[in-house]
Amino acid sequence: MGKSIAISQDLENIITNIAEVARILWKLGWAESNAGNISVNVTEHIPEDIKELNKFPSKEIDKSYPGLSGFSFFITGAGTRMRDLAKEPSGNACILRLAEKSNRYHILWGGRSDLSVEPTSEIHSHLSIHRFLLQKKAPQKVIIHAHPEELIALTHVHEYKQESKLNRLLRSMNPAVKIIIQKGVGLVPYRVPGSDELAQATVKAIEKHDVVLWEKHGCLAIGTDVLEAFDRVDILNKAARIFFMCKNAGLDPEGLSAAQLDKVERLSWSKK
């Protein structure tokens, strides 16, 4: 077995919350098979100087990430299942630190007995977004990607491929969307999963939104913690689900009117 760093109580708590969200994603049907991935910038919880860093397993990425050297990320493993992560985080995720040569990383923690877990195939989207968030000094440290069914279904409907129409619909189906998803949802046109093109298009969308939909694929959200990121997706999907429930019953939902939405106050909601 390779080397592994000690985990602080704070980091342990973060991992516990990740496992909880992984369990919920699976139960909701938003993380079928090996779908879905989560990453967290955990640099502040990792010692700056790690003795014998070179003895930790090291691997190469097919792209360089200048600016991320020395930063550490918890990241779910490629091909791993959320339902397994919920039970055994260390066997289905890893904490990696980008090396000085930023197309390499060391695995500091996680993996199976031989520390063989490699980061998600969506690593480019995750690292590109973390780099953007760090450059912006943004408070968000968490990225989650999942496959919420009703939101994905909406991205298959021609009418809602316009961001403005999509946002109007989601706000009108659930007042919490207006309160919690204040920047609205971004829509990234279909790109090959795992590709750098998808990563670049997502970073562009994240510049303006905290949640983006990947057309005909899934959803990606950022948050200060994993529960906040999950809640955002949950609130949005509830809006989409209510829309489809009405449609499935053969009814056309009225939706909240502009006047009703105008009266929605953040304060009143947060007190509930």
Token pair 């985080």 is found at 89
Using rule CB under 5 A, residue 184 touches Zn ion: no
Whole-angstrom CA distances from 33 to 56, 75, 78, 82, 147 are 30, 17, 12, 8, 11
Dist. CA 191–CA 161, nearest whole Å: 14
Kindly write out the interface string for residues 190-229 of this chain, putting x where it contacts Zn ion by CB under 5 A and - elsewhere.
----------------------------x-----------
Q: How far is the CB of 3 from Zn ion (least distance, A)?
A: 31
Is 228 designated active site?
Answer: no
CA 179 from chain centre, in angstroms, equals 20
Q: How far is the CB of 194 from Zn ion (least distance, A)?
A: 9
38 or 256: whose CB is closer to Zn ion? 38
Q: How far is the CB of 147 from Zn ion (least distance, A)?
A: 6
Cβ contacts of 256 within 8 Å, gap of 6 or more: 171, 172, 173, 175
89 or 218: whose CB is closer to Zn ion? 218
151 or 179: whose CB is closer to Zn ion? 151
Dist. CA 46–CA 64, nearest whole Å: 22
Check 20, 44, 122, 150 and give the catalytic one.
122
186 or 218: whose CB is closer to Zn ion? 218
Whole-angstrom CA distances from 188 to 77, 166, 218, 246 are 24, 12, 10, 26
175 or 218: whose CB is closer to Zn ion? 218
Q: How far is the CB of 50 from Zn ion (least distance, A)?
A: 32
Q: Which long-range contacts (CB under 8 A, 24 or more apart) does 48-55 make?
A: 50/5, 50/97, 50/108, 52/3, 53/97, 53/106, 54/106, 55/2, 55/3
Residue nearest to Zn ion (CB): 218
Q: How far is the CB of 75 from Zn ion (least distance, A)?
A: 14
Q: Which two tokens stand for residue 230?
A: 């999950």
Cβ contacts of 136 within 8 Å, gap of 6 or more: none
- Interaction site with Zn ion (CB under 5 A): 218
Catalytic site positions: 122
